[in-house]
């Protein structure tokens, strides 16, 4: 039986910090909820996180293979992952606020909303890189079963994401149109998201060095 990773509590806090920070996926879900209703928003949330499961499975298989090849290589992956998270944060800080992606109105087609969310997420290479950078930071190699640990962490991330993104979909009706036209909110989101990514990357890098 595989025990839960020792850093699960810290992982939950880090995951919530990331999930509660509005990003492209949240803005997509919010826009869809406003234009086609909450049911379409919830369907989009489901599709996005079904796509997330694909990336989690790929990360579990890939990281398990890396560890089987070399423990040193796995450590290198963790360092590179921390550096990549810092890079994401810096890019978010210097980037211009992105406009909310347009979604055409009309009657909600829930199946289409699920498929759209799935395709948008599963075909995004940045999502794959994110999970390869984020999940290894909380894996305890000494416990073994790296793939199982990654899957458990990934499922926890998806569960948290369904809750947080579901809340965004639920509350989108009254807030999304204001969010679209409020440049200050989008600018604040950029600084918050950038700071979260950089802080997580630095913490992960120093934690890995300390364990060494």
Q: What pLDDT shows up at residue 80?
A: 76
Q: What pLDDT shows up at residue 211?
A: 47
CB atoms within 10 A of CB 93: 14
The yes-or-no verdict on residue 88 having pLDDT over 60 is yes
Whole-angstrom distance, CA of residue 89 vs CA of residue 95: 10
Q: Tell me what percent of the residues of the chain surpass a pLDDT of 70.
A: 67
Task: Give the highest mean pLDDT range of 18-32, 68-82, 87-101.
Answer: 18-32
pLDDT digits (tens, 9 = 90+) for 154-167: 999 999 999 999 99
pLDDT digits (tens, 9 = 90+) for 137-159: 888 777 778 888 889 999 999 99
Q: What does pTM read for this prediction?
A: 0.70
DSSP assignment of 82-117 equals: HHHHHHHHHHHHHSPPPPPPP---SS--HHHHHHHH
């Amino acid at each position: 039986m595989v025990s839960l990773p020792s850093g699960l509590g810290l992982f939950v806090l880090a995951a919530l910090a990331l999930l509660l920070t509005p990003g492209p996926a949240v803005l997509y879900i919010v826009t869809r909820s406003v234009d086609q209703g909450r049911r379409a928003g919830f369907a989009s949330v489901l599709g996005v996180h079904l796509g997330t499961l694909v990336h989690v499975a790929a990360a579990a298989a890939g990281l398990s293979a890396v560890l089987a090849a070399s423990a040193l290589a796995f450590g290198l992956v963790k360092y590179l992952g921390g550096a990549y998270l810092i890079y994401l944060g810096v890019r978010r800080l210097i980037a211009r606020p992105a406009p909310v992606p347009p979604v055409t109105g009309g009657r909600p087609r829930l199946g289409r909303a699920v498929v759209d969310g799935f395709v948008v997420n599963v075909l995004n290479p940045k999502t794959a890189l994110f999970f390869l950078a984020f999940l290894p930071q909380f894996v305890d190699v000494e416990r073994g079963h790296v793939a199982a640990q990654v899957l458990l962490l990934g499922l926890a991330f998806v569960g948290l994401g369904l809750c947080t993104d579901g809340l965004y979909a639920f509350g989108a009706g009254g807030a999304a149109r204001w969010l679209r036209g409020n440049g200050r909110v989008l600018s604040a989101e950029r600084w918050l998201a950038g700071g979260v990514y950089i802080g997580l990357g630095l913490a992960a890098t120093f934690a890995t060095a300390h364990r060494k």
